[in-house]
Structures are given as C-alpha cells and as structure tokens.
A and B are shown apart, each in its own frame.
Chain A
Amino acid sequence: MTHAATDQLREGLSALLDARPDVTAQARQLIHDLGARGALQFRDLLDWGGPVSDDLDAGASARLDKP
C-alpha cells in the first residue's frame, strides 16, 4: 500500500467506526494493527479520540516496544 493511500485509509476507517458494533470492532482492531505498524499517526487521534485513540496508542506502544 502506498503512503499516498493514508487519507483514504483514514476515511474508510472513520466510516466503519460509525457502522454496526461488530464492524466497529473490526475497524478498531485495524486501527490497533495500523498503529503497531506506524501506518497511522497520532494526528489521527484528533479525529477519533476516546477509546479508539487507546487502540491506536496501544498499537503504537506495541510497535515501540519491539527490539
């Protein structure tokens, strides 16, 4: 995936976060995984906030913890 797709990625995740609870859960897991890979930045917290920012934060922390 190109870095140029980041905006589309965030747009899609935002839409999924507004969907059914089971879909929202999938989106949150994706956010966690993307945070772990450094594919989403902390600026995304400004859009999502709350528990979602925890997902991203946890992902990013997991990434930073890697040797």
Chain B
Amino acid sequence: MADLARFADALPALVEAGPEVTAGLARQLGQRVTEEASLTCVSLLPFLERAFQELQRTALASSARSDLALNVAWLLERLAEAERIHGSPVEVQRTADVALRLLDEREAEESLGTGTPARGWEALERMLNTVTGSAIRAAAALAAAAAAAGHAAAAEPILQEIDDIAGDCRSLVTAAALGSAFPWIATADRPAAERRAAVLFGPAAAASTRRTAFETYVVSWRYTSRMGQVLVDAYETALAAWETGAAPSWDVALGQHLAVADLTDLPGARSRRWVERWYAQAADEERGAVTRILAEVAAGEAGAACSRARDLLRWRVAVPEAASGGRELEEVSWASSAVHGREEILAEVVLPALERTGGRTMDARGVATLIARQARAQPDDAARALRLLVDGDESTWP
C-alpha cells in the first residue's frame, strides 16, 4: 500500500519521462490487481486521483494526456473486472468520480469519424485505442462492479452520463464502445436494461451506429440468456440486416450467438427460425464454426439443449446446401464423443455426414472411437462408417 502512495507522488515525474513509463507503471499496477486479492480501488485511489491532477495540468502535451487517460482507464477496468470495487461509500464514490472525470476526457464526437462502419474486431481495436472507447468501457465496468458490491448510488451518476453519451452517439467509435460495454451497463441497473438496449440498438438509433454497436457487442461477449432476453429485438434486427446482405462480412459470432440462443430456448429464437435463417445466408466456413458448437453440445450432457442440438444436426446432415464448400459437414464429427445415445449419433448424425463428405472428417479419432464402441451393437453402420472413414482418409502412412 505504501509503495502505491509513493508511485502517486512520483507520478508527475513519471508522466514527464514519457508514455512508455506511465504505461509500464499502469501495467505493473494492473498485474498486482490481478494477483493480489487484497488490492482494491481504495489502494489505488491515491494513484488514480493524482493522475487526474496531472490531466488537468494545462502544460501537459496532448499525447501524454491521452496516454495517461488510456492507462488510467485500463487500470480502472482491471479493478472492476477483478471485482475490487470495495470500500466505504465515500471511497467508492471517489473512485466513481475518477471514472466520471475520465469520461470528460473523451475526444470530440466529430473527431472520431462517422464514415464507413468498421467491422467486428476492427471496430473493437480502433475503439480501444481512443480515450473515448477506453473511458466508456472503464466507467461502465466500474458501474457494474460498484452496483454488484452494493454501491448502486455510486454507479448512478456514471450511468446517467453514459445515457447522455448514448443519446448523442454519432461516431462509430462511441457506438463500438457502448456496444462492447453493454453487458456492464445492463447489469449495473437491470430494471433499465431494456430501455438502454432500445436507445443503443433500437430503431431510433442511426443504422450505422446501431450496426457497429451491436456487432461490437456480439464479437466481444459470449451469448448469455440474461442478455439474450434483453436483446431479442436487437438480434432480430441484426439478422434481418444479415439476410438483406447489408452486413455481408458479419462475423461468425452472430451465428454462434443465435445458435446458443436457440439451444437454450430463448423465447422467440425458434419461432422466428433464427438458426435456419442464419444458415441459409452463411458461408461454409462460418457454418462449420457454428455446426461445431452444435456437435459439441450434442456430445455433451443429456438434456434439452443436447436434444435440440441433435435435432439441428439431423437437419444439417440432410439439407443439400450443407455439403457445399466441404467444411460444415466435416465438423459434425465432433459429436462422436457423445457418452449417451451413441446409437443415434452414429446412425443419424455421423454416418450421414460421412456419406456426404466421402468420409472426410475433422475428428477422425473421435469417429474411429465411436465406431469401435458401436461395432458390436451396430455392425452394419459401424462397417459402413469405417469404410467411409478409410476411403476419405487423405493422410499418408509410413
């Protein structure tokens, strides 16, 4: 603790020494946050508040200023992610004040670009290199962690500021930041989550910012049922854009989200035929990545999701378009490691896939194991599958 206070006193000299020094210091502190469970926002407050005195120093060069702001944002996000927003209400409020002042450091919307939407990871990367993006993410993460720790009052002003930013969102960087921070924003104040989702992803938002925000959300986070329930309309809007070709290079992450929404029976996902519609438009490589998820769930624990995954795989191995491109049906083989219902996996999923790929498969070892296990119970299917596996084998042997 004492050495952290010394770091704070030394901060002006460290900032003068250059951005590499402050970045190195922030990295060190972030590492300590990760490793030392006793380190909380209270421990870092002297450093964080001293950093803001530096930011207000008019003589500070603009590049040094933005570097320092980026490092403070990064550190705040680490603290929040590690759930170290603990302390007295006053101390947590002081930490929240740091986040609020950080939001004031954002670049002007006009300077951030409103042109062609960046795609997925590209948008995320571009956003993380701006004070705007880093500050929004850090503030949202802090609000979520503060609310989770029982300090909703400290989170409230941050959320109000984020509401103002979302209401005036014109740049794609800001949209990407808000999209990638959305689960934090939503969990910081659950009753308001749908209202905030509508502002960011709903029809009132400009099409370009809406698309960038949602795409960044999808590539940043795994699907969860809680977020799925809040974002049903946003998924539908994104899928509709995908179907019209407005988002031709949409990342495979959309398909992964829609597939898991279907497997976990998100209300509306099946009746709106999300998975079927996504597969109808997706390229072979993308279909393969999602089919692998279906296969892995089909091989997993018995239950509704497993049963649904098997139904979807039966459908995929039967539809003509699944064979185009070659990869998708090879991914079906990941279902071979199933521990229950192996008869149906061999007869209705793996064998039909092998028939259509000519025996080519991603998980040859798994398929060979399945065949060995089922050879006595299903000799005809096992013999046929083994013949296909051997014929489709492209490896060279000694």
Residue numbers of A with Cβ under 8 A of B are 1-5, 8-9, 11-13, 15-16, 18-20, 23, 26-27, 30, 33-34, 37-39
Contacts and interface: CB of A to CB of B under 8 A. Distances in A.
A8 B371 contact: yes
A62 to B, nearest CB: 14
A22 to B, nearest CB: 9
Given A1-B389, A12-B386, 18 more contacts: A1-B365, A1-B393, A2-B365, A5-B365, A8-B372, A9-B372, A9-B386, A12-B368, A12-B372, A15-B376, A16-B379, A18-B376, A19-B376, A19-B379, A27-B386, A34-B390, A39-B390, A39-B393
B395 interface: yes
Interface of B: 364-365, 368-369, 371-372, 375-376, 379-380, 382-383, 386-387, 389-390, 392-393, 395, 397-398
Contacts of A27: 383, 386
25 contacts: A1-B368, A1-B389, A1-B392, A2-B364, A4-B365, A5-B365, A8-B365, A9-B368, A12-B368, A12-B375, A12-B382, A15-B372, A15-B375, A15-B382, A16-B375, A16-B379, A16-B382, A18-B376, A19-B383, A30-B386, A30-B390, A34-B390, A37-B393, A37-B397, A39-B390
B343 to A, nearest CB: 15
A11 B364 CA distance: 14
A30 B379 CA distance: 14
For the residues of B in contact with A, the DSSP-based class is helix
B395 A1 contact: yes
Most interface-central of B368, B389, B393 (chain A CB within 10 A): B368
Nearest to A26: B383
A13 B386 contact: yes
Contacts of A23: 379-380, 383
B91 to A, nearest CB: 56
A3 B379 CA distance: 23
Which A-B residue pairs are the 10 nearest by beta carbons? A15-B375, A8-B368, A19-B379, A12-B372, A11-B372, A1-B364, A38-B397, A1-B393, A5-B365, A5-B368
